[in-house]
Amino acid sequence: MNIAPPPSFGTSGQVAFNRGELGMILSVYGRMVAAGEWRDYGISCLRGVAVFSVFRRSAECPLYRIEKRPALRNRQGMYTVLGMDGQVLRRGSDLKTVLRVLERKLIRAVK
């Protein structure tokens, strides 16, 4: 018996973070929460992009957005960290190296 995937499987274009990616992001997030810098987050899985937004307070605009855009995999890298004003802080193909820009801010926050 051959079981076919549902018709929307793989054709919707919806992007999401996998378990490993979320583990790396939540590791940085947890340390920033412990330092008292961040308080809330939101995850959006949209067509073509997955976004992890970080908030100081839940009623504000996000401080940082971590985006995953697989369409940019072969060009600029599929991971991007954006600041509050939309400025690209770091872009690349390895999530761990892209998240280092936030770890520098953690070191400053702890000092």
Domain hosting 76: range is: 19-110
> What predicted TM-score, i.e. pTM, was given to this entire model?
0.79
How many of the other CB atoms lie within 10 Å of CB of 75?
A: 10
Per-residue pLDDT at 8 = 41
Domain count, the chain: 1
The SS3 assignment for 93 reads coil
Rounded to an integer, the average pLDDT of 24-34 is 91
End-to-end CA distance of the chain: 61
Per-residue pLDDT at 106 = 60
Q: Is residue 67 part of a domain?
A: yes
Q: The domain spanning residue 94 has which CATH number?
A: 3.30.2440
Residue 56 binned pLDDT confidence (cut-offs 50, 70, 90): confident
Rounded to an integer, the average pLDDT of 60-80 is 88
Q: Is residue 39 part of a domain?
A: yes
